[in-house]
């Protein structure tokens, strides 16, 4: 990317959900990396936004912050994620809705822990809560506990062997309802990291529900898949955007290695008022 060209990342996680770094440090790293605008999109919580104002003001380079969240939902009896972006900030009613979503999450994770214990797996809610840094307890935190207790050597094995949908129930919110709520609250709904197959099978359903866009540009997406998803999204009149889905952690790419260019998401940027 040429020096000085604007760069963005609209999918970033912090310790408020299952990322590894506190929100202020994430903001500082994004600024130092030369990103011009980001969105923190933690899972089922907007708690990070209680901590970042001072960090944005103190950033070594000017950085725009688009309020966002990633909501876990079910679509055709599988888990999907819907990103909600709020250029004017979060309303009190939306904050209350997200608190309800978070409570639903806590119940399903607790159900998953009970099911594992019934199988003789030594894992407790307290174990997972100690790994988590905020109010969100996730399957990622469960995986870290299972690794620490040597049930598996790698997180992906924990998800494959212990954390299937048969153990941890699907999210309670229905994807179409999530999309409708985001729109009703003045937000922009974007389908996070769908596969080509997902788009072929379910994009018309979400488009009918009022989804605004699709996350097309990802670090590891094959060019052919990216082109196909972009083509289908544009044919449906939807916005294109992208993000790294960055969580941090040892051995992972640095924040800023992925860079969304303005021309890749020009209509999305216009929609949020970043002209």
14 conformational bin, left if phi > 0, alpha if psi -120 to 50, beta if neither: beta
Report which DSSP code applies to 18.
T
* Contact indicator for 123, 101 with CB cutoff of 8 Å: no
Burial of 93 (0-12, 13-18, 19+ CB in 10 A): exposed
Predicted pLDDT at 5 = 85
Q: Which two tokens stand for residue 139?
A: 């399957």
* Contact indicator for 48, 16 with CB cutoff of 8 Å: yes
The half-sphere exposure of 259 on its side-chain side, counting CA atoms within 13 A, is 18
Q: 38, 111, 45, 43: which is closest to 81 by C-alpha?
A: 43
Taking only the tens of pLDDT, the chain with its 275 residues reads: 555 689 999 999 999 999 999 999 999 999 999 999 999 999 999 999 999 999 999 998 999 999 999 999 999 999 999 999 999 999 999 999 999 999 999 999 999 999 999 999 999 999 999 999 899 999 999 999 999 999 999 999 999 999 998 999 999 999 999 999 999 999 999 999 999 999 999 999 999 999 999 999 999 899 999 999 999 999 999 999 999 999 998 889 999 999 999 999 999 999 999 98
Map residue 10 onto helix, strand or coil.
strand
* Contact indicator for 239, 190 with CB cutoff of 8 Å: yes
Map residue 69 onto helix, strand or coil.
strand
* Contact indicator for 64, 260 with CB cutoff of 8 Å: no
Q: Which two tokens stand for residue 156?
A: 């992906």
Predicted pLDDT at 129 = 95
Strands 213-217, 188-191: pairing is parallel
Predicted pLDDT at 4 = 61
* Contact indicator for 40, 90 with CB cutoff of 8 Å: no
Distance CA 63, CA 38 (A): 8
- Residue whose tokens read 């488009």: 207
Q: Which two tokens stand for residue 110?
A: 């607790």
Q: Where are the domains of the chain?
A: 7-98+171-271, 103-161
CB atoms within 10 A of CB 206: 25
CATH class of 7-98+171-271: alpha beta
């Amino acid at each position: 990317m040429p020096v000085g060209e604007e760069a963005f990342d609209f999918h970033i996680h912090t310790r408020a959900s299952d990322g590894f770094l506190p929100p202020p440090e994430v903001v500082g790293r994004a600024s130092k990396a030369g990103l011009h605008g980001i969105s923190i999109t933690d899972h089922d919580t907007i708690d990070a936004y209680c901590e970042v104002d001072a960090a944005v003001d103190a950033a070594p380079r000017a950085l725009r912050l688009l309020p966002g969240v990633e909501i876990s939902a079910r679509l055709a009896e599988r888990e999907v994620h819907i990103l909600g972006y709020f250029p004017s900030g979060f309303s009190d009613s939306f904050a209350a809705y997200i608190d309800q979503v978070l409570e639903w999450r806590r119940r399903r994770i607790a159900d998953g822990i009970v099911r594992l214990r019934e199988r003789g797996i030594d894992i407790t809610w307290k174990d997972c809560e100690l790994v988590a840094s905020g109010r969100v307890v996730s399957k990622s935190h469960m995986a870290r506990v299972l690794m620490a207790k040597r049930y598996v050597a790698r997180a992906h094995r924990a998800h494959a062997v212990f954390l299937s949908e048969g153990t941890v129930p699907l999210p309670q919110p229905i994807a179409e309802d999530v999309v409708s709520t985001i729109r009703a609250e003045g937000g922009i709904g974007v389908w996070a990291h769908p596969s080509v197959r997902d788009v072929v099978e379910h994009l018309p359903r979400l488009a009918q529900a009022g989804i605004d866009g699709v996350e097309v540009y990802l670090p590891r997406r094959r060019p052919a898949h990216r082109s196909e998803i972009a083509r289908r999204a544009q044919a449906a009149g939807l916005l294109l955007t992208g993000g790294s889905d960055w969580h941090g952690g040892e051995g992972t790419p640095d924040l800023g290695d992925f860079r969304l260019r303005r021309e890749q998401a020009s209509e999305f940027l216009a929609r949020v008022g970043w002209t």
